Amino acid sequence: VVNMAIFDGQVDVLEDGQVLLDIERLWNRPGEERDVSQVFPNPGLNFNEFNLNITVEDGFRPNNEETFIDFRYEVDRVLLKQLTDRSTNGMLTIADHQNHLRTRILDSLIPSSPRHDMFFVFSEESMAVAANQYLFPVMLLGDMVDDFSSIELDVIEDFWTQFRLPEGFAPRSIRFPDTFDFVAFNQARQDWQDENVLIALNAFEQGKSIVKHGEEEEEPPTSSDAKIATA
């Protein structure tokens, strides 16, 4: 448990080098922040019948950190495909990512979904992931000076499958030093972060309602291309 906690950042390292365990977080299962990740699987899905019946000898034995690391860092290709299938004419937009976020949460909550996770956790860390991760690749990797809302599909695929930046990549501020609008960029980022939090909250409440009443309600609106700001 201690090794898992340290790996998951559940410790505080003081200035004098002393390491203290965060007792409150120690009892949270590792990987909580991945429950709304774009492309990483819910940690709770690992608590299936097969894994729960693994013998001690075949489970998390000493020096078996590869098992834990692989689980934490292996991209779920089904989730990635759900995202990339939203592309149009070889492009993915912020709105596509936001719709993926909403579906991601509903699929985790609704029992009839193949990706239902009975251990799903919607926490403050989940909110941080929703706010930032669902706009991060588009805003970081985009190469247009005045369009922060879209990106080529293959750039996203390479980013998540190969964990690499595009050939010749440079941030907009370097690529367009004289014309890049920092103010517009930061305003768009803040607006989309705020939208993502609302989308996630609405999806979570809708999912809980579906579970309670056994029927899907009308889908709440997400952001539209008309709402998305560009410089």
Tens of pLDDT, residues 169-198 = 888 888 899 999 989 999 999 999 999 999
- Please indicate, yes or no, whether the overall pTM of this predicted structure exceeds 0.85: no
Q: Which residues contact 208 (CB under 8 A, 6 or more apart)?
A: 109
Tell me how crowded residue 65 is: count the other CB atoms within 10 A of its CB.
Answer: 12
Give the mean pLDDT of the chain: 77
Beta strands in 16-104 (DSSP E): 19-21, 91-93
Residue 223 is predicted with a pLDDT of 42
Residue 176 is predicted with a pLDDT of 92
**pLDDT-based confidence at residue 74 (cuts at 50, 70, 90):** confident
In terms of DSSP bridges, do strands 91-93 and 150-152 run parallel, antiparallel, or are they unpaired?
Answer: antiparallel
Residue 11 is predicted with a pLDDT of 59
**pLDDT-based confidence at residue 79 (cuts at 50, 70, 90):** very high
- On the question of pLDDT at 62 being above 90, the answer is no
- On the question of pLDDT at 75 being above 80, the answer is yes
Pair 115, 176: CB distance under 8 Å = no
CA distance 121 to 68: 19
* H or E element, residue 207: helix 182-213
